Structure 1
């Protein structure tokens, strides 16, 4: 009954008999036994409602045979026995609930540990693909499809136990159901794995992570990797998303949501690091001769490009007067020999400027 062995209910009925006869309260060992019954029921997958129902039914069955309802007893004795039984039942229900809750907490911790291990193996490709696919079904993923990975990064590190992680997960499940989507904290970042064709899922993930609502820590930026097939594809998409976040930080890109396919030019630029370093040194190296170093003039090249080569807008973004900004462009031309007003020269300067930011120059030596 309710997942409770018959012998446990029989022991409970005998205990009620003693309680009704003596009016005593439940002893510590009896409460511990009830907690154990609740824990076993919870660990066996039986709900608390069914568990309590079984003990209530046992109480009703036992009541008719208790000494307190014998015909020879007075009304006062019956009332005293009934109060003792109700007090015992109240204590029993509390003990059963405590044991059941303890089992549920243990199951949650075990599930979280298994989930964390699975996410680690999935994102780092450290498990046999066949075995990984079997484990994935437990968490609602079908790895035969092409998947993409989105990564959100905030001011503070994300952990699975944080309310904001549950907030994002509830939002996605509420909108899309358990449709091949997994949300988890990983290395201080928030990760979403979903089928690559489910663009709406990634949009909802980014929107909720960036604006989770009052009381939740918001992400600063979200990057989405490209869609790839198989378990190795998830690893690749995850690495692309991390790379996009790194590039965005180095280049100080403004969009809060980035897609790896939009940034493919940067891995190409950095594929030959030595050639990029040579370009930066050859084109921008002379800027170090300027008063204040290369930094301000490097910012000038970047702002000029971001403003569509409109001097007034670029000056506004840097908080400079147009005359000062124009003077900086002239200094760049004099020092480097490349004219920002010439399309070909401008392209060379801007490519070198991107390379400088990717390499951390001039703060880091080439």
Structure 2
């Protein structure tokens, strides 16, 4: 036991973690055999215990080598006195050390993997709580968020849903943490999407996040919520970000990054559904009489509005001739009585087209 006391004092590794190792090593020196399965399992359990106690693997390895060194010195002296072959003794020691260290390391690594798994599960539970408004400040601090600040949430939807433990999520998080610090950024998977919560004071965080997404994911679209304070604020920003993506889909917007702040008019329109239904039906309803249905004329109006009234640019967007665009706009004027060339009528037409996309007309009936 003197050996264990000396080694423990020198390395800081508790003696109880090394007792089985010392016995296995002593037996190997005496018999020349390697540690058996029961001894290996005991050493593996000690490796797990060392990890749980927070003992560095380097210190554990140093303690093992120091025990082997002291036992080898004693065996060498005994070997010289008894005329034994030192090579056989040292060979037995080194073989036993190698197998013992492998067992220690295996137990140690398993403990770390278990801890990582538990942390991942806890993190997923926290993200669920956070985005449903159930997280508290202590939880948030553990995962790097200070809920007293205003946070903006960015949500990325990819063509293929991302699992919560996807490698791309961890890689993007590491890149952001290395720049902004671990107590400023949260990156996680949620409902197959990639979510990033960052303080509003870090204006560059959203751009940095989307930059890494662009270099890591082939097809994606992002929604950016407005900054809000507190746990409820993060929920609100998250819902705004998801809503921005959904609005982009319904309106056929081309931008990859959609900001909720730029789309505030659309929730306003939808709040009075009756009014928008009446507007679409009154202004655009007559387009249903057009040959081929209303969709080609709606698409033409959208292209013209997106091109600030430039017929040539709109034609390029649609893959048509400028003459065809002009013909379609005249057809709209004749059917509806509204012309994009008239400023007042243009506003009415554009609002009605946006309303039609929000209501998914003409694919769905106006009710």
Q: TM-score range by the shorter chain?
A: over 0.9
Distance 2:80 2:250 in 1: 88
Q: For 1:202 and 1:88, how far apart are their aligned partners in 2? A: 54
Across the aligned residues of Structure 1 and Structure 2, the Cα RMSD in angstroms comes to 1.7
Counterparts in 2 of 1:68 and 1:273: CA distance versus 1, 3 Å = farther
Partner of 1:168 in structure 2? 172
Equivalent residue for 2:38?
29
**Structure 1 residue 235, shift from structure 2 partner:** 0.6
Alignment of 1:1-366 (within 5 A): 1=8, 4-66=13-75, 69-76=78-85, 78-127=86-135, 132-212=136-216, 217-218=217-218, 220-366=220-366
Q: In 1, are the aligned partners of 2:44 and 2:105 still within 8 Å (CA)?
A: yes
Structure 1 gaps, min length 5? none
Structure 2: which 5+ residue stretches go unaligned?
1-7
TM-score by length of 2: 0.93
Q: How far off its partner does 1:67 sit?
A: 8.1
Distance 2:132 2:226 in 1: 16
CA distance in 1, matches of 2:218, 2:231: 29
Note the alpha carbon deviations across 1:38-80, whole angstroms, 9 max, x for none: 111112222211121122222223333448834433242x211
- Residues 320 and 148 of structure 1, relative CA distance in 2, 3 Å threshold: same
Between the aligned partners of 1:155 and 1:173, the Cα distance in structure 2 is: 26
Q: What SS does the corresponding residue of 1:158 show, helix, strand or coil?
A: coil
Report SS of the residue matched to 1:124: coil
Aligned partner of residue 34 in structure 2, secondary structure:
coil
Secondary structure of the corresponding residue to residue 81 of structure 2: coil
Greater mean alpha carbon deviation, residues 150-159 or residues 31-40: 150-159
1:298 deviates by 0.6
Report what 2:5 is aligned to: none
- How far apart, CA to CA, are the structure 2 residues paired with 1:143 and 1:73? 72
